[in-house]
Structure 1
Amino acid sequence: MAQISPKLARTYFAEISAGSAVPLDLDDLLHMVKLRRHNHVLIGDIALHCYKNKSKWTYNERDIRHAAHAFANFQLDAGDVVEVQLPAYLDHGEQDPEHRGRADWRQQIASWMFWQARDKHQEGRPYEEWDDSWKHLGASGLPGELTWDEFVGARSGIRLRENIANTRPLDLITSAGGSLFLPRAYAALLDRWEKVEEGLVAQARICKGCAAQGPRWGGWRTQSPLGYVTLCPPCSGAAFQRYGGHLRGVLYESPRVRGTRADDYLCCLCAETRAAVWDHCHDHGFLRGPLCGSCNTFEGKSLPRYFLEGKEGAALHLLECRGCLERRTLPGRYHVAIVQKRLEATEHHRHRGRRCKRRPSVRHVKLAHGAHRFELECWWHSETWTKDVTVPETAALVRGFADQALAAPQPDVVVPAARTASGTTWPA
């Protein structure tokens, strides 16, 4: 059979599997949230391969119809149930990094309940009275003081988004006598899903070039004309060339850019993955360099502060734009983040005649009458106050940030002749 679009695949699957005993959430056929991880979408324990052709993703129609018929005929006896044993709560630091994020449907259900128990425990209580009681299972079989009716009521508005293997377990789980139960056939389906998911992840971690095992979260995964492939940094470095800045100062709309493939290069930010697109400054229109899909999304859609703090070389990459470099500035969407960070480091209130040493949290309120207004809060003392920073003051802080990034030494980075090195530290 032919290859079909994700939209048509979802339509066929929904029509064929209508009335399935397993409640399905099929939007992932469109969104493909784990596409980079292993090139598949899993509906229950059935892995549907995603194919790429001419920059478009498709499914095999035969695969879609076969999987949909399997769910249409799925036998589920609501009276034949098994008890669900919730795992104990573990803080992030207590978890084994290798097991963090593994396919574990019991852990996922437990996490929804722990989050809800925490919210109930903290709601309406002062911070001083918060404790860890919500981390322990109570008489109801749920964490803390949470009851089943409270859990179902609180999660009802978002249950369609809380899926496991693109199925909705909260539609099938029941509570009785302090225990939780699921239909045996459905629990077995989720057990099989764990094995299929982990098998795909394990296979996708192997470098195509040297067979080395890569990080669990797909850090070595790179785009190719036929989908994502796994290449370790040395193999990527051997396969793709580093960008030397030969298009620096060229406008993004220039024919020179259109005639040069970005995927001939390594991503100039992470330097580990094949580039996918040419990144450019939306304020000035100048090219910044080739980026992989992950770094390009991080720059364009993450909060500005997260990008500047979380990506090494972020500030210098933004200054690859000739307009930003000449003006010693950054794109406008980063200005507020720089001021917020500055205020957190320098602004303090006085409590009982003494200067509070704790860093306040800062929220941008609005821009009016030529000044940015920020609301600052010391949660420790429940104190709030406002601070106005004029547009010229903001521009000066951004210029200082850019100058410090340009002056900070960092080896082995290709930089414009007008500057010396890179850095992403915040100005003091």
Structure 2
Amino acid sequence: MSERVIGGHVAGLITVGAADALWAGLTVGSAVPSASAVFTGSPTLARGGYVLLGRRVVAAVKASGGAWSVPEMEVRRAAAELGAVGMDCRDLVRIGPFGSAPAPHPVHDEGTLLRWRERIARELQKPGGPERAPRDGGHRLSHLAGVDWRQILVERPRMGMAGSWWLPRTVVRLLDTAEHTETQWLHTARTRRIDNAVIEPPPHDGQAQAADAWRTTSQNLPTAPLRPYSGELQGLVYSVVSRKPGISRKVARWACAVCGTAPAAVLDHCHEHGYVRAPVCQSCNTQERPDHLYSNDIRVAGHYTRLFDTDAAVWLRHWHRCPGCRARATLPLPHLAAWTAHVACRTQRPTHREARSSRGRKPCGALRVSWTGGHHAPHTCVLTVVVDFCPSGEHRVLAHVPYREAAEQFRTWLAETVPAVAAVAGPDRIDDLPTHFRPVIADTSSEGQALF
């Protein structure tokens, strides 16, 4: 399609129908699949004064005749930003389910906030799931910030358990940023409306006056830039910090302390020692989450390759923001168990010949590690590394590793892998650490925020 807008173009504004056509034509080749009818489909927030497209808020104005219009240049910018986003369909983030269905949130005057995880959860938990997309004009979700998430959603079934939902990491970070942008935009608009009491378009006729109104309502509403995290919460206890008034808004103003690109959403903290590590985005927080089967049993999933191999320096530095883990030069027990299975026992894992090739071999089954006891009683804690779902029908116990041996192996590996992190860790000074440790349990909250 030509990028030229055929009709409905006055003073830089185009009708929502023309905006739909323009958006579809500009995003047809983007790696992230775009949704159609983002301005006229369900749900559309034009009636609230804006439409959210990717990381950008596109303001909408209403002419005297009741027709909605949007600025053409903003649609083009939003499409260009989405088209510049690359996507690795193999790098997935688990987005749920983490518990019971979330409770509904109220509808605001400006529209319904994105809260994309909750929206996906509600739609997938309805009869028919994503295949029965909202074609009936109802209030069910049709797109997320202009992204057609159904095309890239991955559902992974589990034997005897509810399945899990996954999206590419790039899309998760895009939607997290969109959610942050919308919240900031609405907060700024509400503040200016209260201060100036002139945020609504003036009661004049014609699209030219509507364009002036758009320039007042949109261009003068910048979102606050994210600031990098510089250790402001270092050494503070999460149970105290999380109860401070306004802490959620303060966290949202930081960039994620791990990836540095997406807005922070939660305070990551050590469940064993209780200390705040840093504010992180939902994507990084989910990546760090151990894949629990039970409170003392985890599956060694594919994301551990990033945590302990490709991005090990970043994650080890992040985990050692906890004074307890840094003083002991170790990791929280679920992470130490995953490291032991993924790294220390890597050479012990058997392989099988590929079914379709006479050359290659693949690792046997799926790794799982469980433990008895806890970190506060290291002399009784033992990690057991097991291979499940062996193609030959076997279930093999690879190793029984005492906690102290696993911790010592980790210290040696840490010094070789990331000397800069190892240099500031230890010796084991625990005088000022909490004496009562929180037990290690699986996260069952619907928000999925209380992560390790």
The bucket for the TM-score relative to the shorter chain is: 0.3 to 0.5
Provide the TM-score with structure 1 as the length reference: 0.41
Provide the TM-score with structure 2 as the length reference: 0.39
Query: Counting helix residues as a fraction of each chain, which structure ranks higher?
Result: 1
